[in-house]
A and B are shown apart, each in its own frame.
Chain A
């Protein structure tokens, strides 16, 4: 045990990114002057690295997936009659594509209506014409919602720091790609921190920058094979979105700043992110 047992939980909290800014600053200051607590920090980090480096995850066997699938089918009962509503070829992600009953369920599901309505909304926007993929409208909805949610619930960042050397490794082990985290404060975009978010049921890295009083959420995920290179800047629900791909990653910047500012942000980010 270190000489400062009362600091121990705070050191763990720091490592886990669980401290608020005031406590994080206080414990970081203490660590600078206390070799014992630094040793404690290093030990915690060593344990974490050890665990992170080893393949310790036990994956559910395929047979279990099948059993549970069948169980849910049985619980859901017989499928509704498919002739009651007009259908269109359904898209179900991945392994949840059902040839039979699932198809019928999909026809009836509200998502069919949702897709239609968002499709109509998108079509009514003049901007939609310049969008590379109309099917991305739902993606943009989700991004704007994530952006708004990050502002509302006071959960802007999981790891609050302006130090890019802290943000970048923080993503390591949380997502299986490494988003560049350049410091852009001198260009007027100070780094605020990083966050893990969910888009399309997948984890996505969110790097948070500021532009004056506005927040810019930069979402990063591996690029789909079909996604187009090059960038677009668009307006969606009153928010500006900029999309581009670079080095196998897809970037979406979302903010309420002017589209011109977001364009500038994209420019400085791309020029700093690529060495």
Chain B
């Protein structure tokens, strides 16, 4: 729908070539702004939860927008938000020295059953419960989730993306996303819903 306007016959017929090129570039910029700018909060939100750092997140979003703009001609009119978020994620992976194995390489079964030790080390339920602000506590909990569970949870619960869209962004099968999401929710439940968690883990 966004590109519909571009396909209409142009009323401008006598424009010279240079003007046309400039016009094309500006149509492109115009279309880019209309489709991608509304998702800047989503891009920043994802970058923020990936980096856990406001400055890094800004740099990654700006980098992502530049790449998105330069590869905008490869955008085929699919949902704009997941398309942009995939670029954000790739920019993040590049920024941390291209360590995608942190995300994709670890088999999901490593985590089934018990909480990963690094999660408990960093923030025990007690220290989290000491936080007064419930939102801050929840935010800290999500930030402490190990990848790839954190990004899966953020993309699903905060960005409301479908399993299919998340799978496309993380470049793994949908089944993997389902397992990660289930595990991520279980981790949050274990940390923040003590009673139910205990019952569920009998």
Q: Which of A1, A50, A51, A105 contacts B29 (CB 8 A)?
A: A105
When C-beta atoms are compared, the residue in chain B nearest to A61 turns out to be B58
- How many cross-chain pairs have Cβ atoms below 8 Å apart between A and B? 183
B45, B70, B156, B201: the one contacting A75 at CB < 8 Å is: B70
Q: Are A111 and B44 CB-contacts (below 8 A) given A43-B197, A44-B185? A: no
- The answer for the CA separation of A89 and B44 in the assembled complex, in Å, is 34
Please indicate the chain B residues that have their CB under 8 angstroms from the CB of A13 in the complex.
163, 178
Flag whether B37 is at the interface (Cβ < 8 A). Answer: yes
Kindly supply a per-residue 1/0 record for chain A positions 124-149, scoring 1 wherever the CB is within 8 Å of any chain B CB and 0 otherwise: 00000000000000000010010000
Interface residue from B8, B41, B181 paired with A12 (Cβ < 8 Å): B181
Question: Do residues B62 and A201 form an inter-chain contact, with CB atoms below 8 A?
Answer: no
Q: How many residues of A contact B (CB 8 A)?
A: 64
A59 touches B182 (CB 8 A): no
Residue on B nearest A9 in the bound complex, by CB = B178
Interface size on B, residues (CB 8 A): 70
B160 touches A174 (CB 8 A): yes
A14 to chain B, nearest CB (A): 12
4 further A-B contacts with Cβ under 8 Å, apart from A46-B193, A55-B135, are A68-B37, A79-B22, A113-B10, A114-B5
- Ranked 4 nearest A-B pairs via Cβ: A60-B44, A105-B26, A111-B5, A76-B29
Binding site for A on B (CB under 8 A): 1, 4-12, 14-15, 19-20, 22-23, 25-30, 32-34, 37-38, 40-41, 43-45, 48-49, 57-58, 61-62, 65-66, 69-70, 113, 134-135, 138-139, 142, 153, 156-158, 160, 162-163, 175, 178-179, 181-182, 185, 188-189, 192-193, 196-197, 199-201
